[in-house]
Amino acid sequence: MTVARICLSSAYYPPHMGGVEVFTQSLARELSSRDVDVTVVTDAVAGDSGVTRDGNMQVYRMPAADPSGRFPALLGTREARDLWERLTQQPFDGIVVNTRFYPISLRMFELARARGTRPVLIEHGSSYLSIGNKQVDQAIRAYEDGIARIVRNADPRCYGVSAEAASWLGNFLLVPDGVIHNAIDAAAFRAQASGRDFRAEAGAGATTCIVAFTGRLIVEKGVWTLVEAARQLVDEDIRFLVAGEGPELDRLRANAPANMRLLGRLDRPDVAALLAQADAFCFPSVYPEGLPTSLLEAAACGAYIVTAPVAGAREVVPGEAFGTVLHAAQPAAVREALERVLRDPIAAREAAQNCRDYVERDFTWAKSADAVMQACGLPAHAV
């Protein structure tokens, strides 16, 4: 029996992969498991427009163009008009918008306002969107400030995936109502691990400290901070395994120290295997995320976390008994944190286990789905 009808929107959705995509799909599946009738609205960036299925869920893939790969723009085709018209006829009890600034988000705010429905906004960032180009970033900042009025006019209930993401909304005169955490099915993430032996591939001994990094290889993710820290530890029994692809990959190949191995892009089973075999996970990022999924994945696999003070870091790592949140993403600070792991691996393993237990208990999709139901004015435990 259907207990409620909820519409979730996200600019991107699987098979396109990223943190917000995983969040949206995982949340949708949790809600669907409670007999909630879930509809997902997303951009058809690969040309696969129309209405498709993801398990029990309808997925409206709206015609869109995305030449930059970062900011899909809606198209005004006849198919698009027909799809939006079909969507407006759906009897939703709640409309949830992931991230405020994409064109599809603004369209969903307009749809909610026209229906007299108060939408729920979930913010996934903690600063202005950046692509690393000063002039373009200035234009993006002006755009984000400019569309804030459209968002405010929809009068959304405002949440962030972390406390800092929620607080960031105040920059646009949006009052945060709380936090709907990014989450993880920790047991399922571990269970999918492949049989790949990264320690053997790296030529590392049984006692060698393996430090993992997973993420897009861009300057803002701290990849060069990691390189410099690795150089400072080149005489130690430590190996850095870097998973990901991006514009810095070629330069990294030319400049990586001898104790660093570049793995390229890994699928999720290989990421899970890497993190399960890692002694530590290092994340010296300054990218303005809301709560990085990579931190949750590392915690779920029991890797000791060394992270920059990004949004959500102190929620995942609430104290020294759980890992290390650096004061700043500097090579010397990273080196010192990893030296502590080398000096006392038993204490590091205990802290990693504490963090694993904490994340597995408190950062679940069930809890995030409860929060979404409550934000939509619906009973939380709709099972």
Q: What is the CATH number of the domain that holds 244?
A: 3.40.50.2000
At 148, is the pLDDT very low, low, confident or very high (cuts 50, 70, 90)? very high
318 part of a folded domain: yes
- Residue 263 domain-assigned? yes
Looking at the predicted structure, is the pLDDT value of residue 70 above 50? yes
Same domain, 203 and 165: no
Residues 41, 122, single domain; the answer is yes
- Could you tell me if 136 and 234 lie in one domain? no
- Counts of helices then strands in the chain (DSSP H, E): 16, 15
Residues 169, 23, single domain; the answer is yes
pLDDT at 308 over 50: yes
Confidence of residue 377 (pLDDT cuts 50, 70, 90): very high
pLDDT over 70, % of the chain: 99
Q: Quick one: pLDDT at residue 273?
A: 99
pLDDT at 381: 65
Phi, psi of 194 (to 5 degrees): -75, 175
Q: Is residue 382 part of a domain?
A: no
For residues 178 and 320, membership in a common domain is answered with: no
Same domain for 131 and 247?
no
Alpha helices by DSSP H, listed for 89-204, are 103-115, 134-146, 148-153, 163-168, 186-191, 198-201
| Tokens linked to 241 | 């395994």
Does 244 lie in the same domain as 179? no
pLDDT for the residue 354: 99
228 shares its domain with 356: yes
Least confident of 69-73, 139-143, 266-270, 278-282: 69-73
SS3 content of the chain, % helix, strand, coil (to 5): 40, 20, 40
Q: What's the confidence (pLDDT) of residue 133? A: 81
Average pLDDT over residues 41-48: 87
Whether 176 and 170 have beta carbons less than 8 Å apart is answered as yes
Mean pLDDT on 356-378: 98
Overall number of domains in the chain: 2
d(CA 331, CA 313): 18
| Dihedral in degrees, nearest 10, Cα atoms 80, 85, 87, 88 | 140
In terms of residue numbers, what domain contains 211?
A: 186-362
In a domain, 337, yes or no: yes
Higher pLDDT, 68 or 165: 165
| 147, pLDDT greater than 70 | yes
Indicate if 129 and 193 belong to the same structural domain.
no
Q: What is the pLDDT of residues 86-137, one digit of tens each?
A: 999 999 999 999 999 999 999 999 999 999 999 999 999 999 988 778 898 8
Residue 343, pLDDT > 90, answer yes
Rounded to the nearest integer, the mean pLDDT of the chain is 95
Query: pLDDT-based confidence at 361, cuts 50/70/90?
Result: very high
Task: Give the 3-state secondary structure of residue 26.
Answer: helix
Handedness of CA 340, 342, 344, 347 (dihedral sign): positive
Burial class (CB in 10 A: 0-12, 13-18, 19+), 36: buried
The secondary element (H helix, E strand) that includes residue 157 is: strand 157-160
The 260-264 sheet, strands edge to edge: 260-264, 238-243, 209-214, 280-283, 304-307, 324-325
Alpha carbon 335 to chain centroid, angstroms: 26
Q: Is the predicted pLDDT of residue 68 greater than 80, yes or no? A: no
Model pLDDT, residue 67: 80
Pairing mode, if any, of strands 57-65 and 73-74?
Answer: antiparallel
Of 115 and 46, the structure prediction assigns the larger pLDDT to: 115
Residue 14: the pLDDT is 92
The confidence score (pLDDT) of residue 383 equals: 38
pLDDT at 382: 43
Residue at token pair 């060069």: 224
Residues 252 and 333 both lie in one domain = yes
Co-location of 162 and 202 in the same domain: no
Phi, psi of 258 (to 5 degrees): -65, -25
97 and 176, same domain (yes or no): yes
